[in-house]
Amino acid sequence: MAVTNPTGAPPVQLALDLAAHGWHVFPLSPSNKRPLANCLDCQDNPHCADDDYDACACLPDGQWCHGVRAATTDPDRITTWWRRTPHAVPAIAAGPSGLVLIDLDTHSGQPPADPATQLLPGIPLADDQVPGGLGSIRNGIDAMHLLARVRGGPRPWPSGPKHQPVSVHTPSGGRHLWYRAPDNDLHQALSALGWQIDIKAGWSYGIAPGATTASGTYTIHGGAPHTPGRMPDWLLEEVRRVAGPKPAPAPPTVIPATPGQGNAVGYVRTVLDRGTAEIAPLTDGRKAALSALAYKVGGLLTWAGLTPTDVEDHLVHAGLASGLHHRDAHRIVHRSLTNGLNRPLPAPSDRRTA
């Protein structure tokens, strides 16, 4: 059964229809399009605040706490949720559904200051690559046409259902292109393919095709939710280029060494560098790995004569390189560094080379 014209259908029906096609659904508040609030237990539970969802009892219990993490295809769960909040807006968790969303915005913001390098970061452009010049690119839809022009060859959008995304017109004039995700190698949940072009994968989400919010309906204009097509090869290559695994960036800070503490500081720096390199390619367990690294480094600070400030940026950067949000990386580093500092490790004199 295809979801061809769900406009006007009750949200629960849309949610159930999409779930029947394997789309993982969860509810958004109809007033602000954000996930519904966590229960009081989750608001008070430090594990939940640290995104340690394995320790949350609500998710296995079928509650909607933690937004996209609660997404499901279970019709009973969906029916219960929408019985409680009949006007909730269904949203789709990209990764669990095996989907990737190319989100083309039409913000009215200023175009990039340097279109030649900023419209499609990583792809240098010349003004004569578009009729009308790069200054004629006004939104994400234009930027996507430009990307197709420079990377897609003579026929960038193959016809036929195999490459047909579920394409949606959004109430603000943007486009959502829901494609079947490539084999599980999109590392970043949210990345920018270009100016006003976002890639939403993994635990990122989008408003369900066919859903209606206060600003209007997300209308399906092509494709079918039971058979989302695959990206053409050139687009897949571009998506992998920006959303695939990344090498760790260079450490942002140089730890100051003062005479007499050189060996200890060098030891801490080695621990940081090795830990950073180990965390960068992780998707599962990167929070735990970052926490363990920060805890270990925290335990060495007193011995090395360093302060948390000397290492904090470096640790946060290790988390960012693995694709964590800044907020999460910062919180994990701050907490674990403090815990480690409060439990100093013995001087690693017999382990100078880590």
Residue (39 or 243) nearer to Zn ion, CB = 39
Return the range that interacts with Zn ion (CB under 5 A); candidates 45-53, 145-153, 173-181, 232-240.
45-53
Tokens (6 digits) for 254: 């140089």
C-beta of 50: minimal distance to Zn ion in Å? Answer: 10
Nearest C-alpha neighbor of 308 from the set 288, 334, 271, 330: 334
C-beta of 14: minimal distance to Zn ion in Å? Answer: 25
CB-facing half-sphere around the CA of 278: CA atoms within 13 A:
14
What residues pair up with 198 in beta bridges, in sequence order?
Answer: 103, 192
Pick from 3, 42, 68, 300 the residue near Zn ion by CB under 5 A: 42
Instruction: Check binding of 39 to Zn ion (CB under 5 A).
Output: yes
C-beta of 176: minimal distance to Zn ion in Å? Answer: 29
* Amino acid residing at 54: D
Residue (24 or 66) nearer to Zn ion, CB = 66
Residue (65 or 207) nearer to Zn ion, CB = 65
C-beta of 295: minimal distance to Zn ion in Å? Answer: 23
The single residue listed with the structure tokens 């280029």 is 241
Residue (52 or 198) nearer to Zn ion, CB = 52
Give the chain's end-to-end CA distance (angstroms, integer).
59
Show the binding pattern over residues 47-76: x = contacts Zn ion (CB under 5 A), - = does not: -x-------x-x------x-----------
Residue (48 or 208) nearer to Zn ion, CB = 48
Maximum alpha-carbon separation in the chain: 73
Residue 175 belongs to what H/E stretch? Answer: strand 175-180
Residue (65 or 89) nearer to Zn ion, CB = 65
**SS3 letters across 251-282:** CCCCCCCCCCCHHHHHHHHHHHHHHHHHHCCC
Residue (60 or 247) nearer to Zn ion, CB = 60
Helices (H), 176-325: 233-243, 262-279, 286-304, 308-321
What is the rounded distance in angstroms from the CA atom of residue 264 to the CA atom of residue 268?
Answer: 6
Radius of gyration of the chain (CA): 23
C-beta of 11: minimal distance to Zn ion in Å? Answer: 22
- Number of residues interacting with Zn ion: please give it, by CB under 5 A: 7
Decide if 90 contacts 211 (C-beta within 8 A): yes
Q: Is the dihedral of CA 29, 284, 237, 110 positive or negative?
A: positive
Residue (91 or 144) nearer to Zn ion, CB = 91
C-beta of 38: minimal distance to Zn ion in Å? Answer: 5
C-beta of 35: minimal distance to Zn ion in Å? Answer: 12
Output the CA–CA distances (angstroms, integers) from residue 200 to 48, 101, 123, 129, 140, in the order listed: 23, 5, 20, 27, 14
Return the range that interacts with Zn ion (CB under 5 A); candidates 41-49, 68-76, 216-224, 306-314.
41-49
Return the range that interacts with Zn ion (CB under 5 A); candidates 32-40, 137-145, 194-202, 264-272.
32-40
Give the footprint of Zn ion on this chain (CB under 5 A): 39, 41-42, 48, 56, 58, 65
